[in-house]
Amino acid sequence: MLDPAVDPNDPRLRPVPPREFSWNAIPASKAEDDIVKVSMIPSSDLDSPRNILINDPANTSRISIPSFSFLIQHEKNGTALLWDLGMTKNEKLTPVLRDGILKTFRVVPGQDVISRLTEKGFNVTEIEALVLSHSHFDHIGDFDTLPSETRVICGPGTLEAMRPGYPEDEQSEWWSKWFEERELVQLPSTDVTDSWTASIGSKLNPRNTGMRWQKLACYEHAVDWFGDGSFWIVNTPGHRVGHISALARVTSNPDTYVFLAGDTSHHQSLYLPVPTEGQPDTRTKVPFYPKSEGSKEMTSLDDDPIVNTQNIGRLTRLSAEDNIMVLLAHEGEVEGILPVWPEDLSRWKTRGWKEEKEEELKGNIARAKATGARIADEV
């Protein structure tokens, strides 16, 4: 949960200039098939107070945002991962969620991720693991919809934070039966600097037991999941304990990538546009909003907004690379531009989808400058 000592005016919450992040070269592909196929899968939408997602505390209007999961297919070895499971039906949530979070967020029901996959002929038993970007209700879905043999993989510290589950812990957001019936595995702590032991590696990925944390791009801790550089899981704490992201190579020669950012940010205006040297930086800060109606106490969706501000800055740094497209789990601007399952995102570079999904935000900022309006009012 948010540290109550965090001051919304703390200077460390200002957008971080991209130049402040060192860069570690992304290893180039060695073979044409050192890639993965990434497909975007919508589930339900979320109706949310605007000021929770965008830095505009006084604006209590509501906006609707999508919730995306992603199918990762490594065709060279015939395996697949599912990145997040989206949302489930309200009655499938634990009581603390039904009685709490749903008073703030309203779920606009949509078809669940697994049924969307099967409807188009995908055999879900091919999914080797569900990888959760983090433990929030709009990403974990309903584990019961997965084949019984499908493992669930989480970021460091997730399982300790979520155990023992409901009903043993009446305030838990997860069900106790998941810990009893499902193989749940988490990535090692970033304090583990050597290669992960065979036992840890085999639980996480039996095909690649020699994994370890490595530096990648502007990140300190990333793991090469398949061993060929096609899919990296990246440690990105701040929003939630155990929050992780992923860098997926979707074409080779030239290498192009999609970065799955999860909930590092909930809106484009926090990480875009990439600032131009010598020009004003128009990115907005991590949103803080009244803890309750009429309250002067402010809170944030992030457990640690200062740490997360750094990771939002890294999204900007990635976006400065012309061969990387960043995608947020709730990035509404991509709707109608990026194709959804069963199509994939491999053509994003040649089709200009990165530039197209950013056009609306850039136009809104230009209009705000021209009229003298606040940028927060326009985005």
Check pLDDT > 60 for residue 90: yes
Q: Cis peptide leading into 254, omega within 30 of 0?
A: yes
What mean pLDDT do residues 5-14 have?
Answer: 89
Contacts of residue 324, Cβ cutoff 8 Å, sequence gap at least 6: 247, 256, 257, 258, 259, 318
Average model confidence (pLDDT) across the chain: 93
Q: Which residues contact 204 (CB under 8 A, 6 or more apart)?
A: 153, 185, 187, 196, 211
pLDDT of residue 338 exceeding 90: yes
Residue 115 has pLDDT above 60, yes or no: yes
Residue 83 has pLDDT above 80, yes or no: yes
Which pLDDT score, from 0 to 100, does residue 101 have?
85
pLDDT, tens digit (0-9, with 9 covering 90-100), for 247-284: 999 999 999 999 999 999 999 999 999 999 889 999 99
pTM of the model: 0.96
* Integer CA distances (angstroms), 260 to 76, 227, 232, in order: 21, 19, 10
Percent of the chain with pLDDT over 70: 97
Task: Give 377's pLDDT tier (boundaries 50, 70, 90).
Answer: low
Residue 370 has pLDDT above 80, yes or no: no
Nearest to 206 by CA among 227, 175, 191: 227
Integer Cα distance of 373 and 379 in angstroms: 11
The reported pLDDT for the residue numbered 4 is 56
Candidates 155, 133, 137; CA nearest to 69 is: 133
We find that the CATH architecture of domain 32-351 is: 4-Layer Sandwich (3.60)
Q: How far is CA 54 from the centre of its chain?
A: 17
Q: Who wins on pLDDT, 1 or 312?
A: 312
Model confidence at 371, pLDDT cuts 50, 70, 90, reads confident
Copy the structure tokens of residue 216. 């990648």
- From 29-38, 53-62, 181-190, 231-240, the region with the lowest mean pLDDT: 53-62
> Could you give the CA distance from residue 230 to residue 28 in angstroms, rounded to a whole number?
9
- The two structure tokens encoding residue 133: 């970007």
Q: Is a pLDDT exceeding 80 seen at residue 352?
A: yes
| Domains of the chain by residue range | 32-351
Span 282-317, pLDDT tens digits: 999 999 988 877 778 889 999 999 999 999 999 999
Please report the pLDDT score of residue 378 as a whole number.
64
